[in-house]
Structure 1
Amino acid sequence: MKDVYLFSGFLGSGKTSMLTNVIKQLKERNLKPAVIMNELGKLPFDSQTVEEDIPLKEMLEGCICCSGSEKTEAQIQTLLLNEDFDVLIIETTGAAHPVEALDAVYSPLFADQLNIKGIVTVADSKLWLERESLTPQVRSLFLEQIRHAHLLLANKMDLLSESEQAKVIFEMQGINSHAFILQTTNGQVSYKLLENLQATSRISKDDIHSAKIGKHLHLSSLLIEFNKSYTQQQIEDWIKTLPSTVYRIKGYIPVEGVKNPMLFQYAYGLVQWLPEYIKMPAKVVLIGENVDEVKVIDE
């Protein structure tokens, strides 16, 4: 299993400084990193900070989320097939929503090869205090990046007074009480903190049953494997029982009377079924809040 970290945060928040520092710590531990960098510009400025001996995939003029998720899956598959590495770091653009970014990383094709450790968000503390000056859309994304983090770096603390520092931490804790909040300068974080994260749960289904597994986390995933077929109606009835905190489901589900497991996607209450012409692994990935409490499909 390869450990995977997703680095989130606005442009200029300190993500690249954190990336450079974490890579250095990995090398000191004799761990081999690989990096996927997702940038909105045409020139890979940030990727120039990654040393030549580190496997690097760049996604230019695109987003790791939504329409870019297939590209991300292809990049990860290429790394898994062709590169020798221990830890994968995915640096998202400042415009990526954490849930969308996670969705791009979780593919039933390689979910059992990756251990998604979590989302590390770098937040510009000075910008936080000035967030009312942002447009409503940008401010909302800023809040979402903080709310869904597993580890939150309140960065640029050296630019604030003690009272401002206290205000930032108090307010961020109000937005995300689940994450450990670290006060940082230049995005410096100990790799030990990253190692303690865990956002992936896994269940193997031999029969239909209910399950409570994994650790209690704010935003996490659940991998479900199927060893029998269902009707589409059975699956859709099960979907209706899921809490609203399940944001995404994608994967392949064996359907009665259909030769190959069908491609299944769920987002924002909408279900999509598509035929698949080759036999894909019968498994789906759920993404949401506290998905370890989700009840697996019952008859």
Structure 2
Amino acid sequence: MTKTNLITGFLGSGKTTSILHLLAHKDPAEKWAVLVNEFGEVGIDGALLADNGAMVKEIPGGCMCCVNGLPMQVGLNTLLRQHKPDRLLIEPTGLGHPKQILDLLTSPVYEPWIGLRATLCVLDPRQLLDEKAVQNENFRDQLAAADVIVANKEDRASTESHEAFELWWQNFGGDRQRVYATQGNIDQALLDLPRTNTAELPASDEHAHHHAVKKGLAALSLPSHQRWRRSLNSGQGHQACGWIFDADTCFDTIGILEWARLAPVERVKGVMRTPDGLVRINRKGEDFFIETQNVAPPDSRIELISAVNTDWNLLQANLLKLRLTLGD
């Protein structure tokens, strides 16, 4: 039976960073797997989690609970039956609702396979000051479904965000556990806490619609003859636009960082090839984190998410100007 944890959190809360920290500190004798879902289709989180000591399976292009859970079930079955991990971490999109996923994980068909442990919700307490986030039912229900609330980004906290979190905890914390973290630095022991929160969640109105069935479970890749490609996705009040470029395309380091920093969107994630090696980009609002490594990824991919209409063509034109090796 595979020990399994659901790790939720709204856009930019730090889910992937938390999982990277957990992977870096896992017992090397254990076999771990990560099932990751993204709102967009180019697979940024899969690229970030690759080569970090776990088998990674991606479900791009929406939320796991859509299309009657079929993409979720196929990805889950593949990991459980083919790889037989000791532990499975499931990271839904920040725009996803936890009810259908938890319903599936606790269904009789998975009872012999899955030992469901605590659900962790990673929260940036500053989001409690954002009325748009607070009014989002997915945001509220991610918190409501959790056994452990991880108040992340302590290094970015303010007096106002601390007060907002304390007020929220007084009203909704109950007898659950809360921990504070910076850059997703959480104790692995949290994963072995039991699942005690069995509160019945309502079905999400935002997911009462039908999503188009995606073409597959793998993140977007390029045909051998194609130098780059753009992919669009929309739903749940947000739009995503992502680009993937082949391995022969490099980007000006300073230029790509400025492009990502100034893009008029709320979320940017990317793994880009530059003359300085790999550049990992992670931006939520004005929080902008970069990491460089002296390695070259197999391709470059970057994705933007916006809650308002955005001129993707203009952003694309400026992005293409930053290529040092120009393709078609």
Same-fold call, TM > 0.5? yes
Partner of 2:139: 142
Does 2:88 match 1:88? yes
Secondary structure of 1:23's counterpart equals: helix
Deviations 1:84-136 (A, max 9, x none): 410001100111122122123334223222101021100111121x2224483
Amino acid corresponding to residue 49 of structure 2 in structure 1:
V
Secondary structure of 2:6's counterpart equals: strand
Distance in 2 between residues matched to 1:120 and 1:164, nearest whole Å: 20
Partner of 1:37: 36
Does 2:97 match 1:97? yes
Superposed displacement of residue 218, structure 1: 2.4
Secondary structure of 1:34's counterpart equals: strand
Superposed displacement of residue 72, structure 1: 1.3
Distance in 1 between residues matched to 2:77 and 2:133, nearest whole Å: 37
Superposed displacement of residue 177, structure 1: 1.2
Determine what percentage of the aligned residue pairs are the same residue: 27
Does 2:12 match 1:12? yes
Whether contact under 8 Å (2:50, 2:56) holds in the other structure is no
Does 2:102 match 1:123? no
Partner of 1:219: 198
Deviations 1:132-167 (A, max 9, x none): 24483x2x3222211221111111122224564244
Whether contact under 8 Å (1:42, 1:61) holds in the other structure is yes
Distance in 1 between residues matched to 2:39 and 2:164, nearest whole Å: 32
Match runs of 1:276-291 below 5 Å: none
User: Which stretches in structure 2 are left out of the alignment for 5+ residues?
Assistant: 204-328
Secondary structure of 2:117's counterpart equals: strand
Distance in 2 between residues matched to 1:19 and 1:4, nearest whole Å: 13
Amino acid corresponding to residue 35 of structure 2 in structure 1:
I
Whether contact under 8 Å (2:141, 2:201) holds in the other structure is no
Match runs of 1:83-232 below 5 Å: 83-128=83-128, 130-134=129-133, 136=135, 138=136, 140-162=137-159, 164-196=161-193, 198-199=194-195, 217-219=196-198
Instruction: Give aligned pairs, total.
Output: 203
**TM-score normalised by L of structure 1:** 0.62
Runs of 4+ in 1 over 6 A off after TM superposition: none
Deviations 1:46-68 (A, max 9, x none): 11122335222111113111425
Secondary structure of 1:65's counterpart equals: coil
Q: Provide closer, same or farther for how the CA distance between residues 134 and 76 of structure 1 changes in structure 2, counting only shifts above 3 A.
A: closer
Partner of 1:51: 50
User: Which stretches in structure 1 are left out of the alignment for 5+ residues?
Assistant: 200-216, 221-244, 249-299
Distance in 2 between residues matched to 1:145 and 1:167, nearest whole Å: 17
Distance in 1 between residues matched to 2:54 and 2:168, nearest whole Å: 38
